[in-house]
Structure formats: C-alpha cells, structure tokens
Amino acid sequence: MTYSSFIAKNAFRNKRRALLSILSVAVSLFLFVLLLVALREITIPVEDIGAASRIIVRNKISLGNLLPARQKAVIEKIPGVEAITPFTWFGGKFRGEEAMTFAQFAMDPQVITNLLVEAKIPKEQLEDFLTDRRACAIGKKTADKYHLKVGDKIQLQGTFWPYDLDLRLAAIYQGTLDDRNLFFNHKYLDELAGGGGQVGTWWIKARTTADVPNIVSAVNKAFENTSAEVRAETERAFQLSFVSMWGNIKLLVHRICSVVVFTLLLVSTSTMSMAIRERFRELAVLKALGYRRRELFLFILAESFGLAALGALLGIGGAYLLFTYADVPKLTKNIFLVFEVTPRIMGQASLVAASLGIIAALAPSFSVARMSVVQGLKTLD
C-alpha cells in the first residue's frame, strides 16, 4: 500500500461523513464566490466601448428635479460636443406587471446611433423609428423575453410620469452590453406633458475622450448660479453614483463572507477531530512502529487538505461553469448582466480552501502529538 492510497482510504473510511464534508466546503465556497462576484458587479458596473466619451448631465440637487429644455442650445455650442439628446427616464409598467422590468428612456432618435455606437439596428427599422413620433426601439433581450416583433403595440403605464404611453415597436437593437432598454421619441413625452419643455438629464457624446474633461467643466460652469444648476459627469461616474446609494455594501458582503468562512472552519475542524479521534488506536500503532510526529501530522494534513481541495474543485469550478455559460440575466431576473468569475476571485476562494485544510488539521494533530502509545492503545474505536 502506498502513502497516497493509505491517506485516501482513511479519508473515505466513513463515506457519508467524507461526502458531507466535501459538500459543505463546496456549497460554502460557491456562496463565497457568488458574494464576491455580485459585489464586483455592483461596485464595478460594466461599460461598453463608447462609454468613455459619453457624459451625463443631471440636476445638481437630485435626479428627481427636471432640467429646462433651453439648456440644449447652450450645451451644443461648447467645443468638443458631437451630439446631445434629452435622456429622460419614464419608468412605466408593462402588461400590468407589479414592477418595472426594463428601463424606458425618452430621447432624440436622430442621435441614437451617434451615442449607442455599438448598437446594431437594421437600416429600414432605423428609418421607421426616425419618422414615426410614436415609434420606439427596444433591446433584443426584452423583445425575446416578451416575444415582441416589429409592428407590435407597446403600452406603458406611467408611474413617475402621470401619463400612459401608446407606442409602436419600430426597431429592435442588439450588440450593446445591455440589450434590454426601450427608447422612444422625447417629443411624444413633451406632447403628453403639454409642451412643458423639461428633461430628466442630458446625454452628451464628446468628439474624443480628450474633450471629456473640458466639456464636463464647461457644462458645470455654464449653468452655475442659475435656477437649474447641473452636475455633469462621465457615464462611468454617473453609474458609480448609483452604487454609492447602496451604502457600505462592500463592508456588508465582506462580513457575510467572513461568517461563511468562520462557520465552515468550525464544521471542518470538528469533522476532522472526530475522524482522527476514532483512529487513535491505529495512530498509536504507527507511533509504536516508529513513525514520528511530523509524519503523522503530514498524514492528517494530507487528508484534511485533500477533502478541502475536492470541495473547492466542486464549489469554485461549479460557480465558474454556471456563471460563465448560464444566462445570467435570466437567473438574476435582469438584475445583473454578467457574472464574471475572475482569476482573482478564484484565487481568493482557493486560498480560503487551502487555509481551511491546514487549520482543520492542526487541532487533531496536536491531540495525536500529545498522545502516548499506551494511551492510544487503550482508546476504544
């Protein structure tokens, strides 16, 4: 019998206990990876290739305060501005659902391809979207979810805005990181609002990324000390401002991860101690045969580390396969677009598993080290 087969037979002597130990490690590390991946997606939102040159302008007080439409003429004259459109969130409910399942924005259809440079829209559909004021364009994921096709009627029940929209689906776009949103003509919303001339935010496309800082500064300065002061920021900064509304989510997730790891450590240490205690007589025989404490410790460590490694393989590998090849938006009900299990996260989970295997072996190893041969031989199995 080789050392490896000896360790394997001891590890799986009680197959039920070994299986439960492996599964507890696997489930715990799967949860650990899930929490870290979710935290990463929350705190580092995904961005597409055109995000670096896009700027969002909102009311300095809050997003709930609207901006006057006359600001557009001022912003257009700022050097470096290639395109600008109102970008007003509607927030309607579709088909009587209790909550909004996809976002809707009122904008200028003429500049949609300038701003969403990565969006792919068939030419005839785009022309239809540009000519009909009540037309809309919707992301392919949402169209597939509701089995929508070009020409269908889309009715949205207003929540934030006290109006209902009666739209016609003219175009289906795809190719962006978030193929879920709906875009419609801002003039239609203005009509319903009685020509109020107000917008939620401005969406600006800079000619180059080098123009972005100058545009941000110029826009903020242009409306300084007016009745509608603004806050211009990059699209990335705008996304991160929403993350800050979650509070200290990072601290919360890290504390949950710590609880998961600590609980797993207690369970693993208890399991290993129980398994070694049942084999005190055998270990005493090995001592009598001349095996030293160091060698016995290596036997126990290999057994503990092996069980932890198998659990890590199942937990981390399962998380990677699931989040890489599964439909993440469908799994998370469109809360997350992607779940990227990065090498860093897998490395952290593997480090936890390795530490777990080492620490769980320490307590039973100390017990074996203090045990005398006579005391061990007296132990009942």
Measured from the Cβ of residue 345, the count of other Cβ atoms closer than 10 Å reads: 21
What is the rounded distance in angstroms from the CA atom of residue 53 to the CA atom of residue 286?
70
CA distance 162 to 94: 15
Other C-beta atoms closer than 10 Å to the C-beta of 135 total 22
Give the integer Cα–Cα distance in Å for 335 and 38.
Answer: 10
Contact 304, 360 (CB under 8 A): yes
pLDDT lower than 70: segments of the chain:
1, 3, 6, 10-11, 45-50, 196, 242-247, 280, 282-283, 286, 288-289, 333-335, 368-381
pLDDT digits (tens, 9 = 90+) for 228-270: 999 999 887 787 776 666 667 778 888 888 888 888 888 888 8
The reported pLDDT for the residue numbered 1 is 63
Report the half-sphere exposure of 124 (CA within 13 A, side-chain side).
2
